Structure 1
Amino acid sequence: MSQLLLRFAFMYPMITLISYAAIIQNPDFELAPTNITSNTTSPFLLTEQANTLPGWSFHGTVRYVTVANGHAIQLGQNGRINQTFKTTGNSMNYVITFTLAVDRVDCMANNNSFALNISTSESFKVFRFLGLYGNRTWESRAFQFTNMDIIHLQIQKVSIGSSNTSCDPIVDSFLIKGVGPEIFYDGMYILGLSANTFCLCL
């Protein structure tokens, strides 16, 4: 094992790949929608006629909510948010990370009544709240997709059964990171993650 690590220590400068980010506007929703007054109570129902959400377009039932660390978006019936942006690098793949949350601890029992469909122009993935961290009402999730110059990102609520609307999913803190292509070396795949790290993937 030590010999393998030593070989990668010498190889590391050659396989390290620069990580590129794609710029998401208002990824944490701290830029508030228009026409919201300072004394507005949370959650605030957005309407396409009265409100715009900086960086995003939205349709259906979409609420602007206050969470522990700031603000987020809650997606109700047919609720979805969209953003289109251009990548800033030449990475082969991109990873989107985001926070998925439920409003209250008692909503965790209803996590099978909804799902989130995260999609780009060519890829999609459906997420459910899994309760990964015990009684915490949030969890970090990730979605990988192949490179494209223009990214059309859509986040949409998907109802699975008789959905409890008081437990609609909450999303926050979107981040996109470019990752390098996999390199096959000595029977293992090496995935360039950033300028300072790499992963040995068996």
Structure 2
Amino acid sequence: MNKLLILLLFISLKSYSCSCAGVPDIIKNWESANEIFTAEIIKVDSLLYGNNGAKIYSYTIKIIKSYKSEIYPGRELRTILSQSSASCDFMFQLGKIYLIYAKAESQTLACSICSRTNLLENVEKEELKILEKLYQKYTSDKSKVRFTKFENNISYQIGLVENVYQEKLKSKEKTIYILLSLITVLFLIVLIMLLKRKAKR
């Protein structure tokens, strides 16, 4: 009886400390997460403590497949920090593979039990198909944005060249105008001098 009371108290404390408004749908969770991927938990460290004395677990994960951000070769490792109690942080098991919906926090990632994060073996295939479609659209849109930026940059560079060319033309025109003016003045001076000489004769 005492054990049952302790268990019920523990459950009630956990529910009190973290309250989720239901599991979000796939699209909403995809939009709110910074990174989404399947990953294996390859290392767990628990030497850190938070300012409330609770243990902080550091999970080193190796990404297998990404469903949002780009993963570059040789950069598949990430760190997820989780607090052991009084939080909504997800607690992982070493050696297991998960589908993770993560949020960026400083230089690490965080993962909540209120997200759709789950053991990969428990994730329905339909969810992975939807994530794959979202990822394809995301990469396609990103490529379009990059191409647009590239086009805009080219247009900007062409505009700069045109401006420089026009400025040079204006500068040349000014120089020519000044030279013509000087030549005209000199011609008039010479003409006046010649006329004066003729008049003296």
Normalising TM by the smaller chain, what interval? under 0.3
- The structure whose residues are more often helix, as a share, is 2
- The structure whose residues are more often strand, as a share, is 1
- Larger Rg, first or second structure (1 or 2): 2
TM-score, structure 2 as length reference: 0.22
